[in-house]
Amino acid sequence: MPEKLPAEFVLSPEFGKDPYAAYAALRAKGPVHPIDFPPGMDAFLVVDHEHGRKALNDPRLSKSPAHGPDLFRGLLGQGNPVLAHNMLNSDPPDHTRLRRLVSKAFTPRRTEDLRPRVQEITDALIDAMTAKDHADLLDDFAFPLPITVICELLGVPVEDRDDFRDWSTALITPPLDEDQVRRRTEANDAMRAYFTRAIAERRTEPHDDMISALVAARDEDELLSEQELLSTLTLLLIAGHETTVNLIGNGMLALLVHPGQLKLLRERPELLPSAIEEFLRYESPVERATFRFSTQDLEIAGVPIPKGSLVHVSLGAADHDPGVFDEPDTLDITRADNRHVAFGHGIHFCLGAPLARLEAQIAFETLLRRLPDIALGCAPDEIAWRQGGSLIRGLRALPVRF
């Protein structure tokens, strides 16, 4: 059994700046390592592509907190009720039922129908930025673009987006101290009250939006419970913008600190689809997959995983595995056969991946076309990454000038 990693492995600022060097050192010792995160629980970290991909689709690893440790069930269930009953935290047949309900809104055809509106939002955001010669690309562009799209799909006012951002951050940050527990509790209460009002309004006056469609599925066909309805709406709001925010932010930073790749993409815009896949691989917006719980005693790569253990699959580590990717620490927008797992793998593969790709394609194409001299607005070593053990890999800010 490898030596147990301390919780600081994923909590330290040093790890946040460059997790891939730490993962490479671990991978050289083996693909699976016990880790004290969350502290005091049996947990394991998978850091290679082969075993990580298999774990993402292993039916012995449940997504339901019911199979986790008692303390963790409290943290994820009673401590986070607004997110406790969605498809991401469930197994078949509940997962199948819930995913089928939501998938109708994210088919390739319906996603493509959103292209004109996404372009319109993108252009309006850049119009506002160009009133100055500088911007925080996260606050001024990468966040408002996807949050506006998901707000319009759900049918909630985009003017509430700052509240959504605060609540989302609190809900996905591990509650490791009293302040984080308080913030999560407040976010739960606020999100529950918000969507409870929205659900009540749609029951009185349905709209042409996703909230109304899910309310109808709840009331007419009894396809989901009231708690599942609430949790599904919360999940859609969070997942509908978090991934794309960080795909745009992380991808633009990667381009700005690799001027050769930026120049190549300007000269060959047809490389944009492969460039986006490389951004997803190179700096995955989701650094670690959501928790999985072993439903029986099992082994991964020869390492015993006791029943009830937490299993972390590091998507970022898997996507930098030199056994799968040539020169994995090199940004290469021409990379072919890019088998990254940034959107997961198996039955929990990200349902919103087509929408995230569409938003990213429009965002990068329009930014590079309309801001031909965009550059980083600070020294690269001044860029700060989000910390605190979050599953998300994202920037605190991205200052640019043009």
Please list the pLDDT of the chain residue by residue as tens digits (402 residues): 788 999 888 888 888 888 999 999 999 999 999 999 888 889 999 999 999 999 999 999 999 988 988 776 666 655 677 888 899 999 999 999 999 989 888 888 889 999 999 999 999 999 999 999 999 999 999 999 999 999 999 999 999 999 998 998 888 887 777 888 888 889 999 999 999 999 999 999 999 999 999 998 887 777 889 999 999 999 999 988 989 999 999 999 999 999 999 999 999 999 999 999 999 999 999 999 999 999 999 999 999 999 999 999 999 999 999 999 999 999 999 999 999 999 999 999 999 999 999 999 999 999 999 999 999 999 999 999 987 677 899 999 999 999
Q: Report d(CA 30, CA 302) in Å as an integer.
A: 10
* Degrees to nearest 5, angle at CA 287 with 29 and 328: 60
Q: Report the pLDDT value the prediction gives residue 79, as an integer from 0 to 100.
A: 60
Residues in the chain: 402
Reading the block at residue 386, the tokens are 């989000």
Helices 226-256 and 178-204 cross at an angle (nearest 10°) of 120
Q: What is the reported pLDDT for 76? A: 60
The alpha carbon of 375 is separated from its chain's Cα centroid by a whole number of angstroms, namely 26
CB atoms inside a 10 Å sphere around CB 270: 8
Q: Which two tokens stand for residue 294?
A: 């072993």
Return the pLDDT at 350. 94
Q: What is the pLDDT, as a whole number, of residue 74?
A: 65
The pTM (predicted TM-score) of the whole model is 0.93
Strands 32-34 and 43-46: antiparallel
Q: What is the CA radius of gyration of the chain?
A: 21
Contact call for residues 341 and 368 (beta carbons, < 8 A): no
Please tell me the predicted confidence (pLDDT) of residue 276.
98
Instruction: Tell me which CATH code domain 8-401 carries.
Output: 1.10.630.10
How many Cα atoms sit within 13 Å of 296 on the Cβ side?
4
